[in-house]
Every structure is written in C-alpha cells, then in structure tokens.
Copies of this chain bind each other. A is one copy, B any other.
Amino acid sequence: MADRPSPGRPGRKRSEESRLAILTAAMELTAEVGYAGLTIEGIAARSGTGKQTIYRWWPSKADVLLDALATKARLHIPVPDEGGYEADLRRFLGDTFELGSRPQVIDLLRALMAEAQINENFGERFREEFLRRRRDALGEILTRARARGDLPAGLPPETVTDIVFGTLWYRILATRRLPDRRLIDELVTALTGPTA
C-alpha cells in the first residue's frame, strides 16, 4: 500500500485530498464498469489527478482498491466473548455475513481475490493485509475454545479456519449464492458436531 513519508523532510506534503479522490473514483468506477474495465487512466481522469500521482503511491489498481476497502469500508470485526465456542462462532459468522452482504463489497472482494491469483506480488499483500487479519479474528475464538476444551477432536483450529472461510469464499466465488443464516447453522453443526 502507500508508504507514508517521514515527517520533517522538504517538499510538498502528500495531498490527502487527491488520495481520497482517487480511492473514491476507484470504487465508483469499479461499480460502474467492473474491475476488468477499471484502468489507472480512468481513475486519474475521474479523480482529477495525474496518473503519476497514482503510480507514485500504489503499485497497481488492485492495491488502490485494497486501500479503498480498508479506508472506506469498516472491515474490523470485534470478537467479543459470548461465553461459549458455539455462541462465539455463531456471532462471528453473523458479523462476517453482514459485512459481506453489500453487493459492492462482494464484487470488490471477488476482484481482489482474482487479482491475487494473477499478480503474485499483490497476492502476497492481499493475503498478509486482508486474509490473515480475518483468520486471526477467528483464531482468537478458537484459542478461547481450545482453552475451554470445546474443540472437537480431530479438527485442529487451522482446519476449522480453512473450512469456515473456504465455505464462505466458495459460495461467493464459485456459486454466486451469498452466504445466509441457514449456512451459519449448518456450519456450526459441522464444526461443533462431535462434542454436541
């Protein structure tokens, strides 16, 4: 993403106005013409900035969108202790689904996951700065569950995480059916089953 220059050095300061105009233009254009139709030139034109300003701060259009997502969409999901593994899991899944219910956000996520497959460098940034954070949030819940002895045998936390996020992403990427309430129940069934 964009580096912040160390303070106290000469030269004009980075224009926050331009930065926001670029992020806004990028999201709007993605909604209007799709990720494939999004271009750096288009972002520059729409935001009233120069191409060089974009290239100076972001390495690719996907990074602009990732920044926009982090800046614009409030992605943070708190993981309050609901008192038990099943309740925690249910709460986490509910919060996550809510977040992903905005179609614009879904389209953005699909585009970024796609770009991550194609562009190796961006893929690393996407995994580190987005996917890992979501895994860590679930990880917290699983750590608590393990401490309580609630985790079913034969299902290490890593695999639970793979199953949870895997199912969500697969519905989005491969079936175009958005996750819903019913899926929460069924996932909880599968992941807490043996101990119930």
**Interface residues in chain A, defined as those with a beta carbon under 8 Å from any beta carbon in chain B:** 34-36, 110-111, 113-120, 127, 131, 152-156, 159, 162-163, 165-171, 173-176, 183, 185-187, 189-191, 193-194, 196
Contact = CB atoms under 8 A, between A and B. Distances in A.
Main secondary structure of the interface of A (DSSP, over half): helix
- Copies of this protein in the assembly total 4
A119 B171 contact: no
A117 B191 CA distance: 29
| Interface-centre pick from A34, A159, A168 (highest chain B CB count, 10 A) | A159
A176 B116 CA distance: 11
Given A163-B166, A166-B171, A174-B165, A186 B156 contact: yes
B173 A167 contact: no
A28 to B, nearest CB: 18
Nearest to A182: B159
Contacts of A110: 117
Contact of A127 (B115, B174, B190): B174
A154 B196 CA distance: 13
Given A35-B117, A36-B118, A111-B117, 15 more contacts: A36-B119, A113-B117, A114-B116, A116-B173, A154-B186, A155-B189, A159-B190, A162-B170, A163-B187, A163-B190, A166-B168, A166-B170, A170-B170, A189-B194, A194-B194
